[in-house]
Structure formats: structure tokens, C-alpha cells
Amino acid sequence: MFFFCPLWEIHRLLCGKSSDNTAFEDSIRSELKLLVTIDTISSWLSVRILIIINFSNSLYAAEFRSNASGFFSQGGFFRFTLTLPLAMPFFTRSLQDVPRLTVNDVHRIVQATSKTPTAKKDKGFKLYVSSYIHNYEGHPPDPRFNRGVRGCNRHPRTSNSKPVALERCQCTCVAGTVLCCHVAALLYQTAHYSQLGLTSVPPVFSCTETEQKWHKPRTMGIKPGPVNDMVIISARPRERRLAEGIRSNLYKGVSCPLPDISTLKVQEAYHGLRSDEAPMITAMAVSSDVPLVESMFGPVQEGSVLSYQLPLRTVPSSCPHTDAPSPPQLPLSYYRLGPSTCPFVFSEHQHHHMASLAISLETAHKIEKSTREQSSCVEWHQLRRCRITSTKFREVCHTRGESSAENLAKRLLGSSHQTADMRRGLALEPIAVEEYCKVREVNHYPCGFLIHPEAPWMGSTPDGIVYDPEGQPVFGLLEMKCPNVASYVDCPYIMIKDGTHTLRRSHPYYWQVQGQMLVSGCDWCDFVIYTEDDMFIQRIPCDMEVMQTIKEKVDHFFFYFYLNAFLAN
């Protein structure tokens, strides 16, 4: 049924205003007992209003459309369409009729319904744990419908069969015609309520019904800490790009150790002098009663400026197994990479440069030992510049075309600065390593820059060597990440596979770990994510397919693109 009427006529009918044909309009209003606007979409091209009408105890869908170019000038004529009667169930907060659902059922449903099940399960789980689902409701059994639930305008319908199957789903998002991440989140919420055995949806209290929260600080805000850990930042840090705030320019003017505090006898030596005549040392509260701490200047008093401006750098090390054997020298002495299979003829200039990169196994072990301070070591930066490191292995292996490879080589040789995420990782790494060793009951040893003599154009810097008495073999590598997120489930490179969280195989971190094992010769690496609320640990074994790809692609990229760019630079 189609007919046309002006916009003001529709508005007058809905608002109950009188007209010449009052009896006719009253009869229409008596039949149109319920008129609810459920969707309004406006744009510069068109206006669409969709309503649901209860007409003679039957529900109908009514749609109004208009072209915006004639909305005002031509009176805003709308097309009014009555479709076939629609039947709609009513929803309540009761959970007694919601089918029993488990997390395994959710994984099975998403796997069988979605074309990209991994992404849907991953994003849906993140939405669920972030309390994205609200207004959760279910409807009782109805002969016309299967049992179902809804929330946040998402309506998945589940059948009563065993096991539970998804009958139909709908969402208001762009991908709502198929199973989307929002529907997956609603399924996770349903499984959560089902496993808790709740009979109704827990009530959501308003802000006036709960305790005031203005006095409670934010969990992600600034937390109290000791003065020694404070970092003084310039008012315009973007213009300075310093690694750790304002750097100290203090230096030790003498080569001998600082004198012992007890031998100075400051108070006795300057006793009787006025405050304006006494040297500054008399106002520094120097006393042998204050304990000493190590600094770059040697032992100094605890709490002094030198104690926290120039502290003695300590390499994180945690060794609960005191009877553990000494860690092996990396790369392993018996490990062989084999010659490169990339055909390439060197020029005289290139040949001399390759000769300068060549090292022996003994030299490689000395380099690893001397660069264990990593980014704080000047030699570490110099060795990395002329080599392709494992952090760039995936980007190198997925470069397409000569122009892209040449641009990548220039970008790798360009200047780089320390980002905020890198500074955060360096600051939290000792704490994260200590926590990791406690959780897994393993020993951690520092590790420097690794170079294999058979491929000296590649390099890698793991975050440490791990001793695990239950591992096969007992020694492996460690790669630590400290992202600025509340939980590791918020990391985009973590996915759900077979019901467990795992690192994406396509992410650069996975290729970085495989590159570390390729250069070192170790058989496994613990990939750890340390966040504010939790920690993620995954032991990643060698992936021979990825390692073979890295070896072939990196060799080709270095010989044909990076080598020329480095010599030209």
C-alpha cells in the first residue's frame, strides 16, 4: 500500500491537531495505537524515518523517505509504505530462559559462522572484557521465535538445540548483516552470565545510588613515588627530544675514589666559622651516620643529588637457581647458518666493506659481552648501523618492488630518536624481568648484540638469556615488551587461537623473535608482555619456515639495496 502526504500532515496526525476532517483523523488515531520512532538517518542527500506501527493488534514497518533538495521548498513530501505484519518478541532482564552457553560454544559458533573467525573472537573478547555490553535483555520462549538475547542494539538469536547454535544475528554496525565483533562480544557476555548461573541481569546502579568517586584517583594517573625516581622534564620537551628529561652534565674531576666520609671531619675542621664564611660542604649535612650507596662517582650518601642523578647502572639479573650452569656464549659455538644462497658479485668498494664486517666467533663473543648495556653503550649503536637488525626483519621480508626496497634502505639508515614507548620500556624492563623470573622460576642473564660470523650483515639484541631447568634445552632467549596499556588483551598483536592467547604470526614481534633465534642458535624464546594489571608469557619455538624466509629475504635485501645505500650515505 502506497500513498503520499506532506510532512506537516504526518506531524499533525501524530500530535493530535484538528483539521477539517476530524472524524476521519480520529478513526486513524484509534487504529494507530502505538507509533514509535526507532531509527532516523539524515544526510545532505536524503532523510529516512523508519517507524513501527501497531495496527489492529499487528505490528507493521512504516518508512518515510524524502530528497533533501525538496525537503523545505516542496513541502517535504514523504512516501509512506505499509509492509506485511511483523511479529516482535518482548525482552526482559530475566535470564531463566536464556540457553546455556560456554566459552567453547562461543568459539565454535564464531568459527562456523564468520569468514574471519580469529579477528571476530579477538575483538569480541576485548569488547566483552571492557564492559562494552550494556542493556542486556532476553526474551522467553515463543512458538514464533527461538530463544534469544539482545544488548547494545545487537540481537543474536540462539536455538534451543544441543549444542547451542546461532540461528540469526543482527547489528546496527556496518558489518551487522553477518556475525560481527559486537555480536561476538554479546555471546561472550551470555556465556559469562550462563557460567555464573544468574537468574537475572545484575542491576546497573546510577551515579546517585553508589558511593561518590571524586576523591578516588584515576588508576592510570600519576602515582606517588620516591624523589629519587623523579625525572625533571623541560616545559617544551618536544623541542629537546632528550632520552630521559634534562640530562645531568656532572662529571668526575678526579680519577681516584672519593674520600671516605669519616676522614673528612667536616664539622671539626670548620668549627667556629660563620655561616657566610664556611664552605658549602658544611651545609650539606655530611655525616658518617648516613648510609652510602653506589653511584657513577663511587660511594655517596643516600639521598644526595649524586645518588639519584648519576646512579650506578645495574643490569637486571634474577637468579633463583643458584646451582645453575653458566650461560652459553652466543651465538652458540656449534651452530652453523651456512653460506648465503643469494647470487651477487661485489665491486671493489663493496668487497672492502664486506671484509670490514667479517668477524670470527671469538670476536662475536667479545662483542656480545661488551654490549650488554645495549642502548646505553656507544659501541652497540655503531654495530647496529651497518647491519640489518631483527626488529626490521618482517618489514624487509615483505617489501615489494625495487623502489620500495630502496626507500626502506634509506629509511633504515636515517636518523632515529628515542620515543616515549621506548623510554617506558627501558624504565620498566628491570621490574618486568624480576617479576617474570619470579613467576616462571627461571634465571635471567644479560645479553648484548649478537652477530653470527657466517652472516655478519645481520644482528640481534635479545633482552636476556633464560635458564629454565624444565626447558628443552635449558637455555633460551627472552624478549620483553612493556606497552602502555592496562592489560595485554588490549594489545592488537595478541589473538585468541584454540581458546588461548597467542602472538600473531604475522606481526613484526614474531619475526623479531624468530630472527633472534636465527642469529643466536637457541631453540626457544619467551615472549613476555608486562602491563599495569597483568603479564603475558608465551614460549615460542623455532619456526623453520619463517627463519628460512628471513635468511633468504634479508640476504637479498642487504646485497642489492642496503649495501649500496650504506656506502652512498
Domains of the chain: residue spans and CATH: 2-82 (3.10.450), 103-196 (no CATH), 263-312 (no CATH), 348-568 (3.90.320.10)
Grid coordinates of 46: 536524503
Task: From 445, 468, 474, select the one nearest 537 (Cα to Cα).
Answer: 468
Distance set, CA 203 to CA 191, 206, 323, 428 (Å): 18, 10, 56, 39
Question: Parallel, antiparallel, or unpaired for β 166-168 and 292-295?
Answer: unpaired
DSSP 8-state symbol, 562: I
CA distance 70 to 77: 8
Average pLDDT, 10 consecutive residues per value, the chain (569 residues): 42 48 49 38 41 44 44 38 47 73 84 82 80 72 54 42 67 74 82 79 68 62 69 54 50 68 73 80 72 80 78 64 89 90 88 91 94 87 92 93 91 79 83 90 93 94 94 94 89 90 94 96 95 91 95 94 89
Provide the pLDDT for residue 218. 57
Provide the pLDDT for residue 111. 84
Provide the pLDDT for residue 47. 44
Beta bridge partners of residue 446, listed in sequence order = none
CA distance 428 to 361: 33
CB 263 within 8 A of CB 286: no
Diameter of the chain measured on Cα atoms:
113
CB 297 within 8 A of CB 306: yes
Cα(first)–Cα(last) distance of the chain, in Å?
76
pTM of the model: 0.54
Provide the pLDDT for residue 1. 33
Task: From 432, 552, 441, 566, select the one nearest 488 (Cα to Cα).
Answer: 432
